[in-house]
Amino acid sequence: MVQKSWKTVERRIARFFGTERNPLSGRNSKHTASDTLHSKYYIEVKHRKTWAVFNLFNLVRNLASEELKIPILALQEKNKKGFLICVHSDHWEYIVDAEYRRLFS
């Protein structure tokens, strides 16, 4: 039986966060509307061929690689509090570990 690609992506992302895919994601689930069964994070997975943010991130990644740095894209909406932090999953563990050491050393 061939699995739908979006289900495969949901499983992979759920495993990344140490949990499982919600088999009945959305409002059909009695647990959560999240795409995963994580106890603390509400994770919504979207899967499509292209995203505009990836084009922007790739530009940042190319510039960062010239300086041998890890790319981080911060997105801020005008006149809004807070911002989004975009980091490639390959760098996630390193960044979390480095920030933990910075804060608690």
**pLDDT tens, position by position, 25-36:** 666 667 788 999
Amino acid 30: pLDDT: 72
State the Cα–Cα distance between residues 30 and 42, nearest whole angstrom. Answer: 15
**pLDDT tens, position by position, 55-72:** 999 999 999 999 999 999
3-state secondary structure of 86: strand
pLDDT at residue 45 is higher than 60: yes
Q: Which residue has the tokens 């140490």?
A: 18
C-alpha gyration radius of the chain: 17
Say if CB 14 and CB 38 are below 8 A apart: yes
